[in-house]
């Protein structure tokens, strides 16, 4: 919900950072892989209860996730880079709830499972429509900077990162945060499935 409003303010900062790192030997895909490797560290940090360290890993991962896209736009977006980026993004999103489940299986296990269940809904509806939007050459001017169709909703990237930050700052409230956010994710999934279905159905007329 917030991504399209936050991006205009964040984009100039990322563009300046991309200009600074635009050097031979530094590639968008390399930044993507580095960001994912740092993000993966959040899993053991969370499992060990090192929430401050996990928060740092999460923030750096998200910063590099924005930087790889900015550098890619300077050099030209590629399908391979877009595929790598979105694949690793979804893996990263899944490992954070899993980390909280490992930290406290009894207390957090059910809430983490609920959140992952909800992520399946948002992720599958997002990717399924993106694939068909590319097939039918449907444009999305609201997210023109993306390498694929970006279907919005109540819970997008900004909201998900806000959730992870809150969970790291207040880990005792993970079950509450996960329960609420999971419900919002299902609202997002329902609206995406309905709007996507109606959009694609209208193309046949």
**CATH assignment at residue 137:** 1.20.120.1760
By residue range, what is the domain housing residue 129?
Answer: 3-203
Q: Which of 82, 116, 76 is nearest to 96 (CA)?
A: 116
For the chain, what is the domain count? 1
Q: Average pLDDT across each block of 10 residues of the chain; the chain has 205 residues. List them in order.
A: 64 82 89 96 98 98 92 86 91 97 97 96 86 72 45 75 96 97 93 84 72
Measured distance CA(188)–CA(107) in Å, rounded: 26
Predicted pLDDT at 141: 45
Q: What's the whole-model pTM score?
A: 0.84
pLDDT at position 121, please?
Answer: 92
């Amino acid at each position: 919900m917030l991504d399209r409003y936050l991006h205009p303010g964040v984009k100039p900062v990322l563009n300046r950072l991309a200009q600074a790192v635009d050097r031979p030997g530094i590639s968008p895909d390399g930044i993507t892989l580095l960001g994912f490797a740092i993000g993966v560290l959040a899993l053991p940090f969370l499992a060990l209860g090192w929430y401050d360290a996990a928060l740092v890993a999460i923030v750096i991962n998200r910063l590099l996730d924005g930087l790889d896209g900015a550098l890619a736009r300077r050099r030209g977006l590629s399908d391979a880079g877009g595929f790598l980026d979105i694949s690793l993004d979804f893996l990263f999103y899944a490992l954070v709830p899993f980390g909280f489940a490992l930290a406290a299986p009894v207390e957090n296990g059910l809430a983490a499972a609920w959140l992952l269940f909800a992520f399946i809904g948002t992720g599958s509806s997002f990717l399924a429509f993106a694939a068909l939007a590319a097939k039918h050459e449907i444009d999305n001017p609201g997210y023109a900077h993306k390498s694929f169709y970006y279907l919005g909703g109540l819970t997008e990237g900004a909201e998900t990162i806000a959730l992870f930050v809150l969970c790291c700052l207040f880990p005792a409230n993970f079950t509450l945060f996960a329960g609420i956010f999971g419900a919002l994710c299902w609202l997002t999934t329902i609206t995406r499935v309905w709007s996507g279905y109606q959009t694609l159905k209208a193309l046949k007329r």
